[in-house]
Amino acid sequence: MKATLIISIYKNTLALKAVLDSLKRQTEQDIEVILSEDGDDAQMAAFISEYVFPWPMQHLTQADEGWRKERALNRAVAAAKNDWLIFIDGDCVLHPRFIEYHCRYKQRGILLAGKRVKLNPDLSEQMMQGEPINLFPYLFARRGCRYVEEAFFCSWAQWARRKVKHLVGSNMSMSREDLIAVNGFDEHYTLPATGEDFDIEWRMIANGCRIVSLRNLAVQYHLYHKENWNKEAQAVNMRYCLEQQAKNAIICRKGINQYICRN
């Protein structure tokens, strides 16, 4: 298998179905899928047991004790069978060539970074219901969609390479060994704001990695939902992040070492 796709999920089965259906249309199918659930929802378990997966699949759960996405991600990384890890969220529908481009440019020392368009409620509902839709009238008129310029796949982007300044947690990939080298995701982040992407970015770059852009190549459509984080949570997470940067704490104290042994 060329990669492990780790999908972070929490309760929304309609969104997850749209994501998994988009996986079936991928030009690259040689993958393992890990559903990383920050919870243990009965409805989600029932949906997953009935969905027909054409790829090797693991479903990992944990007790629903508040925001513990970093813990769920570390457990998924520990369980992954491939060195190349692609991370998405369970409400992000994928362009058919999404996996292809994350696999095409994989390389140790590289953080592949894509972006996402945020769809409006109408488009999101149509996608979750499996209805055929035409994105372009909505996107050109904007109509509540955000980051519209990220919605279009452009093969020439591999030469133009629009830069990406920061990782987005729902559209990034990296070497498992590079991630383990900084002890994975920092589980001190327990609020839904800056965390698994910004934190892992600065620590991995400090450890010698660099970002390579996949804008307009690994295209992703984020389904609408109300934001679940606020300014207070952001302030708490950023304060902790800045403290760790000041200490140059590249290897986090509470990370993947709890779930994986290294010789």
103 pLDDT above the threshold of 70: yes
Domain 3-258 has CATH 3.40.50.300: no
For residue 226, which amino acid is it? K
More confidently predicted of 60 and 191: 60
Q: The whole model's pTM is what?
A: 0.94
pLDDT score recorded for residue 14: 95
Condensed to tens digits (0 to 9), the pLDDT of residues 195-242 reads: 778 899 999 999 999 999 999 999 999 999 877 667 788 888 888 889
Give the C-alpha separation, 190 to 236, whole Å.
10
pLDDT > 90: percent of the chain:
69
DSSP-assigned beta bridge partners for residue 211: 111
Query: Residue 77: pLDDT band by 50, 70, 90 thresholds?
Result: very high
Mean pLDDT of 236-256: 93
Give the C-alpha separation, 155 to 166, whole Å.
22
pLDDT score recorded for residue 243: 93
Condensed to tens digits (0 to 9), the pLDDT of residues 120-165 reads: 888 888 889 887 667 777 666 657 788 888 888 887 755 555 688 8
pLDDT score recorded for residue 138: 65
Mean pLDDT of 79-85: 97
pLDDT score recorded for residue 157: 56
Mean pLDDT of 18-30: 96
pLDDT score recorded for residue 156: 72
193 pLDDT above the threshold of 50: yes
pLDDT score recorded for residue 258: 94
